[in-house]
A and B are shown apart, each in its own frame.
Chain A
Amino acid sequence: MTAVLGTRPDQEKSRVKKPGRWSAPPRPVWEEEPSRAGQAGKGIALGLACLAILFPLWIVIVTSLQTKKTIDEAGGLVVIPKDITFVAYQELLGGGQVQRAALVSVGVTVVGTLFSMAVSVLCAYGLSRSGSLGHRWILMTLLATMFFGAGLIPTYLLVQALGLTDTYLALILPSAVSVFNILVLRAFFMNISQELVDSARIDGAGEWRILFRIVMPLSRAVIAVISLFYAVGYWSAWFNASIYLTDQDMMPLQNVMIQLVQRQERPVGLAAQINTGQLSPLAIQMAVMVLALLPVAVLSPFVQKHFKKGMLTGAVKG
């Protein structure tokens, strides 16, 4: 008996440590061994789900990298890549409509995200001390907007009346504040150890210093998630541009993508090369799509492990 008690923990320890990250952790004793068929079924289901997401993206990316000859041979979209060429990207980013639109999108996204984060972090911190003067009223004012919207038409009239049409402010200001995001940040800030904040205050730190030196460095994860949410929002937005901007030269990438990919218009400046057969219009279209998906696809996996926290801590019931 003593021998068993003595060896069990050691055995378990070594069993816990050994498995690599790809192998399964030890099964609890009461759980039955999975059946072969069950394992296979799960694997197939999971594989199909992932394939349904990845396969379309694969086609788009591969086709954007093919020469006109390969695309013509395939009769359109290419599944198995042959010789890779970056000519579509060179043409698109060498100047003209798409390059300008991409720069507009990057600019609006960067400026908008910084602005939204500044406003949201300040507001979230300002509301993070329960019992502070007026915080209940301010919170209610913000929360109420989650239950009703003013409606498209009055908002449109207001943006026009403010003279924001045909300025980039119309793409940033109306959607700058997300109450949901503020609530997520606030919930996080409230979770920070009060002893830490109190000790800083005793040492003479004011609210600003506490925010910048203590609260924000401790909230890097949630700040990363919320920044991504805001950035994705700005990057993906096209509707506001379609109603508030009239100047075609100001359009962001998503709106240009509607013109070039969905409506199959020829890009300004490249029409000649396409008509003479130097460039495949399909490769150009796919390249525009890749430009739109690349930043998102590259950035989001980095923040992935924090998503759960970011999604749930803010789910406040009003």
Chain B
Amino acid sequence: MSHSTVPRGTTEAQTSPQDEDGTTRTPKVPAPSGKGGRGPRAKKAGRLPFGIRWRRDRTLILMTVPALLLVLVFNYVPILGNVVAFQDYDPYLSENGFVAIFESPWTGFEQFERIFADSAFWHAVRNTFVLFFLQLVLYFPVPILLALLINSVVRPRVRAVAQAIMYLPHFFSWVLVVTVFMQIFGGAGIIAQTLRRHGYEGFDLMTNPEVFKYLVTAETVWKDAGWGIIVFLAALSSVSNDLYEAAAMDGAGRWRRMWHVTLPALRPVIALLLVLRVGDALTVGFEQLLLQRQAVGVDASEVLDTYVWWNGIRNQDFSYAAAAGLVKGAVGLGLVLTANKVAHLMGEQGVYKK
């Protein structure tokens, strides 16, 4: 990460020297002594023979083994399991489901042809993108606005209390969020109940397919918008007061200071979060949608992830679902790379450096 690409008002995360140190520099390059480097030991590290380094660092390596094993078993081994997408996988061909992969017949791209011919798949794709764009437009600005609001509150106690309340729903499970929304907007919810008591007709937003996409977005805002302000608050706290003072001296009022000082300071963070968001476009609230699938119906709630779940776990059509998952993964990876490229073109940092 080169600092020349980082515009003013970077977050702690982007300026912390330790982060880059460990992840982007090769160990051969002697680390500068001081806080970031590891002193004279690190300086010599590149030159020491393997045996000595092994004897020196074997305890450290040993410490990483449990985590490494778990990641290898549960993140890397399943990648190989994706070969079932090119098979007609039958788990009952062997005692062990994983061994059955070797016995199953190969079918080439047959599963993919089936997927692309399935209108339900394209329906799920459409729902996924509709939900993504809706959340981009309606969810994304909320944490920024909330952060600006909180940042303008100067009383420390008021700030702390407001933040504590806003962070809270982030720690609730999706089950809880959905059931809480039921109590407000559901058929037996407080709104319908009050309407009915005053002689109006009640309603049930939870089972209404037409407003479902807005409901889902509202749930996301309720749960995570408060948590989202942390990153923006950190960026705001790193803006030097001198900038505000200089702007005020030049005659800039409150709003002009916000436009010319505060918002430019947030730009790199906004760009980074946008990139992350776009890269994650195909993952729109899997658990959240799965929970409401029954209530609202498949038409409104089916997205790519739930499509994979339905075909694979429920219908036990493993090969078909794995193929759909692969398509999703490939498109998702493409989106991350594209979004990052665009961020670079715009002169922003992106998720990883060039």
Residues of chain A having any CB pair with chain B under 8 Å: 21-25, 27-28, 30-32, 38, 42, 45-46, 49-50, 52-54, 56-57, 59-60, 74-77, 79, 118-120, 122-123, 125-136, 138-139, 141-143, 145, 147-158, 160-161, 173-174, 176-177, 179, 182, 186-187, 190-191, 194, 198, 206-208, 211, 228, 232, 235-239, 243, 254, 257-258, 261-263, 282, 286, 289, 292-293, 296-297, 300-301, 304-305, 307-308, 311-318
Cβ of B4 within 8 Å of any chain A Cβ, yes or no, is no
Binds A, one of B91-99, B126-134, B209-217, B259-267: B91-99
Report whether B67 and A312 are in contact in the complex, using a CB–CB cutoff of 8 Å.
Answer: no
Report whether B67 and A122 are in contact in the complex, using a CB–CB cutoff of 8 Å.
Answer: yes
Cβ of B346 within 8 Å of any chain A Cβ, yes or no, is no
Report whether A126 and B63 are in contact in the complex, using a CB–CB cutoff of 8 Å.
Answer: yes
Report whether B39 and A198 are in contact in the complex, using a CB–CB cutoff of 8 Å.
Answer: yes
Q: Contacting B60 at CB < 8 Å: which of A119, A135, A236?
A: A135
Report whether A153 and B71 are in contact in the complex, using a CB–CB cutoff of 8 Å.
Answer: no
Report whether A238 and B173 are in contact in the complex, using a CB–CB cutoff of 8 Å.
Answer: yes
Report whether B71 and A317 are in contact in the complex, using a CB–CB cutoff of 8 Å.
Answer: no
- Chain B residues with CB under 8 Å of A135's CB are 22, 27, 57, 60
Mostly helix, strand, loop or mixed at chain B's interface?
A: helix
Q: Contacting B168 at CB < 8 Å: which of A142, A152, A177, A300?
A: A300
CA distance A139 to B59 in the complex (A): 16
Contacts A131-B42, A292-B175, A313-B16 hold; do A153 and B155 have CB atoms under 8 A apart? no
Contacts A123-B63, A131-B46, A316-B22 known; 13 new A-B pairs at CB < 8 A: A24-B155, A59-B184, A60-B183, A126-B60, A127-B60, A129-B57, A133-B61, A134-B57, A152-B305, A152-B308, A161-B99, A177-B70, A297-B171
Report whether B84 and A154 are in contact in the complex, using a CB–CB cutoff of 8 Å.
Answer: yes
CA distance A193 to B249 in the complex (A): 41
CA distance A142 to B286 in the complex (A): 24
Report whether B59 and A243 are in contact in the complex, using a CB–CB cutoff of 8 Å.
Answer: no
Shortest CB-to-CB span from B70 to chain A, Å, is 5
Report whether B19 and A297 are in contact in the complex, using a CB–CB cutoff of 8 Å.
Answer: no
CA distance A296 to B61 in the complex (A): 35
Q: Which residue of chain A is the closest to B314 with respect to CB atoms?
A: A243
CA distance A158 to B45 in the complex (A): 40
Report whether B98 and A236 are in contact in the complex, using a CB–CB cutoff of 8 Å.
Answer: no
Q: Contacting A24 at CB < 8 Å: which of B154, B254, B332?
A: B154
Q: Contacting B172 at CB < 8 Å: which of A23, A296, A317?
A: A296
Q: Contacting B12 at CB < 8 Å: which of A119, A134, A141, A312?
A: A312
Report whether B231 and A42 are in contact in the complex, using a CB–CB cutoff of 8 Å.
Answer: no
Report whether A154 and B189 are in contact in the complex, using a CB–CB cutoff of 8 Å.
Answer: no
Report whether B61 and A304 are in contact in the complex, using a CB–CB cutoff of 8 Å.
Answer: no
- Chain B residues with CB under 8 Å of A76's CB are 188, 190, 193
CA distance A31 to B230 in the complex (A): 25
- Chain B residues with CB under 8 Å of A54's CB are 165
Report whether B78 and A126 are in contact in the complex, using a CB–CB cutoff of 8 Å.
Answer: no
Report whether A77 and B190 are in contact in the complex, using a CB–CB cutoff of 8 Å.
Answer: yes
Shortest CB-to-CB span from B319 to chain A, Å, is 9
Cβ of B114 within 8 Å of any chain A Cβ, yes or no, is no
Report whether A176 and B70 are in contact in the complex, using a CB–CB cutoff of 8 Å.
Answer: yes
- Chain A residues with CB under 8 Å of B193's CB are 74-77
Cβ of B68 within 8 Å of any chain A Cβ, yes or no, is yes
CA distance A198 to B37 in the complex (A): 13
**For residues 71 through 101 of chain B, which have their beta carbon under 8 Å from a beta carbon of chain A?**
71-82, 84, 91, 96-99, 101
